[in-house]
Structures are given as structure tokens and as C-alpha cells.
Amino acid sequence: MKSSNRICVSIGHETIDDVLALADSVVSLADVLEIRLDYLGLPAVSPFLNTLQIPLLFTNRPDWEGGAFSGDEEQRLGVLLEAVAENSTYVDLELLAPEESHQRMRIALRESKTKLIVSWHNFKNTPSREELVGRMTLMQELGADIGKIITTANTYQDVLRVMQLQEVAEQLNFPLIAFCMGRAGVVSRVSTCGLGGYMTYCAVSDAEATAPGQLSVAALREIYSLMGA
């Protein structure tokens, strides 16, 4: 039985068949599946939308934000716009993507049921509260339905700073995904939904992690079960 926590399982593999096989192995444990298009040799959205009966999030993360996509922006954005045209549940677009990409995404979303997650990741540290709040405010101004702020925690103070963003998000009436990467940040992946976070992310298995400190979906479900959540 699933808890009230919204769990997104992130899947990154080179072939569509591999992704579909992994998706099938965890679909009963997930609330959302993130298809990492940047890992695919030939990115596509239709095979997943036509096969998987679960909310899907499409992400095409560029290498300049820790992803595997190294092509041009037109190509990267094109497959995300295809997901919007086919009314996927979510797409992810980076806060630091070119303004033209944000403009094209906003236009496409006018005729779609897709929700836009605007994301920002820091793989080195956790900035000041002022910077984090500023980035969240900018996400909302850019038309995000949901914000996503993920930093790297080096101390417990970093974790607390990110978790406290939910207070501001509530004041802004802005759904926010926020937790920390790294060993110190693992607790935030578990606790974020209970503290107001929109969603948390995990991996198919320990070997399939797509980000530092990412738990497997089985481990996360077991923790929630022990917590009675």
C-alpha cells in the first residue's frame, strides 16, 4: 500500500527497451517515473507514453547541469516539447536554460495539460538562504507549476536551510521539490514530503542511482513503512 509521500523513480539507460524493463520492475512502488532522456541513445517519448500507465516526467538534463546530454539546445528542447504536445504529466526544464527555451516552453504549455517543473541543481554546496529563495522566486516568475531546488549538503545546517524553503513556498502558494544530495542529505530525501515537499526522487536500485545519495525505491518504501508513513 502506497503512502501519502509522492515518490518519483528516476530511470536512466541507453535503450528504450532497457528503460521499459526497469520501469516494469518498479511501477508498483512508484507514484511517478522520471524518464531521463539524456541517457538514451535515441531520445523519444511516445514509446513510454504508449506503454506505461503511470504519471511520467520527462527530463533531458544537459551536461552543464550534471546530465548526460551534450548536443545543441534546439535538439534538447525539441524532445521535451514533444512530451508537452503529447500531454505527459510533467516535463523538467532547468532554471538556467536559455530564455528562448523558457519562452518556447511557456507557449507550448498553453495548449497542454503538462505541468512544468523548473529545476536548479548545485553539485558542490548549498548557497545562502537569500540565494535559494531568490532562485525559487525566479522559478515562479518563469511560469513553473512546480519548483525544484536540489543542493549538495556538506553539513546538517545545509539540510536545514533547504528544508526551511518549504515555509516560503507555502507563503507563495508554490509547490516545491527540495532536498539535498550527498551523504548528509540522505535524511532530506526521506523527510521532504512530510515537511511539505511536493515529491522526492529515488532510484530503481542502488546500482542505478542517477544522483549522489539517491536511495533505491525499495529502501525508501521500507523506511516509510517502518515510519508508518
Strand order from edge to edge, sheet including 176-181: 176-181, 146-152, 115-121, 90-94, 56-59, 32-36, 7-11, 200-203
Question: Per the residue annotation, which of 2, 102, 121, 124 is the catalytic one?
Answer: 121
Whether 148 is catalytic is yes
Report the distance separating Cα 226 and Cα 229, nearest Å.
Answer: 8
Q: What is the C-alpha to C-alpha distance for residues 65 and 21, in angstroms, rounded to an integer?
A: 27
121 is catalytic: yes
Exposed, middle or buried, 155 (CB in 10 Å: 0-12/13-18/19+)? exposed
DSSP 145-157: SEEEEEEE-SSHH
Task: Spot the catalytic one: 2, 13, 115, 148.
Answer: 148
Concatenated DSSP letters of 133-188: HHHHHHHHHTT-SEEEEEEE-SSHHHHHHHHTHHHHHHHHT--EEEEEESGGGHHH
Active site amino acids: 121, 148
